[in-house]
Chain A
């Protein structure tokens, strides 16, 4: 039962490198907060600061109404699941889970009850006597989860817990983690670089870049109304098409609408339709089909525009200039080399300022 509040939290390393440049996040009681961003954006550092494994050089971290800046990790009433699981290799599964309880002087009978309960929930009952090296990756992951839940802490912290698992197991564990968190109703902070994981898990999504928060909010709100071009291209796969409004081809179509001062226009691949019509206030583009990817339910069309595009603000996952991705139903598949015309309606356009830092339409 705890809120976690970060108030202008900063981290500057002794060398002068500023890893976290003032972050404000408020995670409500029982909420699942996901920190997402490219590698090096500071999301893991921020999580480690909440855990107490990194010092805080500015601002305040508040867990359940208590400022914990100077509090030892052990006294913050948190539990953490590490990327490499960090199990104690010389201890059995049972002892791995019991260790934190023993350190707190809990009675052996109570420890037994709690560990058995956690093992039952996580389906580890038959493995309690095994050593970590005798377990598969998914089982180790569950032991790490078990070690966190037996403690019944105020806050769970997850540091990319699924990135060492194979794709199939990752999806299964993702669902497990979400179910478990709902059931225990424990405030959680989860770090990942995988936007799909972030979208599916989060109650509150925090998109980070370069030590700063780009946007905080409900995942779908962020998807529908990205605040910056960074968020627009980072959230959603395949990424949003971001195009400069400078070429005459686009400028002429946008003219007259209230978006005249937009420097960048973004259109999600699924918002395009293949059509000869030009919707009023929308954008229509002629494309040459360069490649297609048929994945069953949908087809991705990679097209090139007639006119070379200028590079817009560089962001990870950005498309090469002049390339446009269109997502169409799996039943359609234009021939490679074919010339098609795609269009998106006005309501589906995302308009950004020239530097990509400001969203212009609501």
Chain B
């Protein structure tokens, strides 16, 4: 049974949703539509003429080797960020779930990083790992590692993954903790009586019962790694050195705003839009139905 509000006037409900609708239309649908139109247009180098080129921007894009590299790089980043952030958050949540003194403080502190904005995260990590300013860089050098993420692309990538994963740990931790607490204590006690040692108990009982949470977080983390890492990349590496940390989203920005190739940039946006629609679709489909265990 759904609750139904009764309105005297037929116009009132429309008037009430109008502001929200206006925001969605102006700030989401209008730019999306613009991007779609733009992706079919080609501008000459001086911006004097614009012609309609059908799918040429897309075809051009898929001929470009750099684009495929960016796709691969983005997938790799997403995978690395999601896996490292999820596994570390799960470890912390399992620890925090134990009855210990000061657990509330511990939990609160673990949730804090979520409130830090991505560019700030970038700056924080730069302070720690900048080749000449960084505190940790000194120790890394002292340990014999030639640490210079400004020149070494792999190190730069590691730095981005580290910062991005760190930021997402709080969010994952929160969901994992809630997931762990929703597992009936008696089920875990039954497993203990059934002779399962803590590690086996975790892998055969707790982990399977967390699988809906894990799946949900996996999708959320991938979406995060795809789109929300922009701020971190922009403050830390600006996609460099070379193109070693340029993800799909960052490439939209560099090609469009810095490179001035609006048509290609728009085409890339549209592709990203399709990706996020697919991911969200998967998520809703499974979250609605719940992963069956």
Contacts and interface: CB of A to CB of B under 8 A. Distances in A.
Contact of A74 (B186, B192, B204, B211): B192
Interface in B5-60: none
B190 A82 contact: yes
Residue with the greatest number of chain B CB neighbours at <10 A, chosen from A89, A147, A151: A89
A53 B187 CA distance: 12
A53 B191 CA distance: 11
A52 to B, nearest CB: 8
Interface in A87-116: 87-90, 99-100, 103-104
Given A103-B195, A104-B195, A86 B184 contact: yes
Contact of B190 (A52, A72, A86, A104): A86
B293 A73 contact: no
B158 interface: no
A100 B186 contact: no
B276 interface: no
B186 A82 contact: yes
- The B interface, classified by DSSP as helix, strand, loop or mixed, is helix
Nearest to B208: A90
A23 interface: no
Contacts of A99: 191, 194, 196, 204
Contacts of B109: none
A74 B184 CA distance: 19
Bin the interface of chain A by size: 20 to 34
Contacts of A84: 184, 186
Interface in B162-214: 184, 186-187, 189-197, 200, 204-205, 208-209, 211
Given A82-B189, A86-B187, A86-B189, A74 B194 contact: yes
B292 to A, nearest CB: 9
7 contacts: A52-B193, A53-B189, A80-B193, A86-B190, A88-B191, A88-B205, A89-B187
Interface of B: 184, 186-187, 189-197, 200, 204-205, 208-209, 211, 293
Given A89-B187, A89-B209, A90-B208, 15 more contacts: A51-B189, A53-B193, A72-B192, A73-B189, A74-B194, A78-B193, A80-B189, A80-B193, A82-B189, A84-B184, A87-B190, A88-B190, A88-B191, A99-B191, A99-B196
